[in-house]
Chains A and B, each alone.
Chain A
Amino acid sequence: AQKVTQAQTEISVVEKEDVTLDCVYETRDTTYYLFWYKQPPSGELVFLIRRNSFDEQNEISGRYSWNFQKSTSSFNFTITASQVVDSAVYFCALSSSGGSYIPTFGRGTSLIVHP
């Protein structure tokens, strides 16, 4: 069985603060994929990143960065200098061979960025 835990239900920050969204996953498979999606108030999920289990290299894309650590089964997402437009619900997801690669999503973290 696979599981994704996003322990932070809601985070509230003031614009320009840095914020880290936590994601902890569980799987028995050695081959798996991790994702982050953003869901703004409009409802549409926006794909942010995919990382496979063999690539632990951290990634930076503009103000976004991801820290993948297999030792702690975590795939955390950091937004640097947050902006009001970052306000959304962020979902972490896991796909693995044992789950027929059907994504399992976490419950999501609601990020509110105040001006």
Chain B
Amino acid sequence: EAGVTQSPTHLIKTRGQQATLRCSPISGHTSVYWYQQALGLGLQFLLWYDEGEERNRGNFPPRFSGRQFPNYSSELNVNALELEDSALYLCASSPGDWTEQYFGPGTRLTVT
């Protein structure tokens, strides 16, 4: 069974630009979660999508947004990029049961 996939693996952007990160969940999983793992800060919860709806979001500014498509894949958009947005962005999926999440390999975003 295929795991959670994320694209691209690496993304380099300039301050002020927009970044789009993509995630495909495990087949049968309806929930997708996004996390930011910045150096020295651990994993910070960003967004949770389930059945196409945003269910919860972490303490991040509105320029972090996303959506979930009918096939349950998801996009994370980061507008007006700042240097401190440089981090590993991890996507996880679960079968609607938030208690057990399976993570993808992440997208490393570098903002210069």
Contacts and interface: CB of A to CB of B under 8 A. Distances in A.
A102 B43 contact: no
B60 interface: no
A50 B42 contact: no
Interface stretch (B14-22, B66-74, B97-105): B97-105
B56 A44 contact: no
A108 B40 CA distance: 10
A96 B101 CA distance: 15
Contact of B105 (A44, A106, A107): A44
A44 B103 contact: yes
A110 interface: no
Contacts of B42: 91, 105-108
Contact of A102 (B58, B90, B108): B58
Nearest to A93: B43
Interface string B76-109: 0000000000001010100000111111111010
A33 B48 contact: no
A91 B43 contact: yes
Interface of A: 33, 37, 42-47, 50, 91, 93, 95, 100-108
For the complex of A and B, list the 9 residue pairs with the smallest distance between their C-beta atoms, beginning with the closest: A45-B103, A105-B43, A44-B105, A107-B42, A43-B106, A101-B98, A102-B45, A33-B99, A105-B42
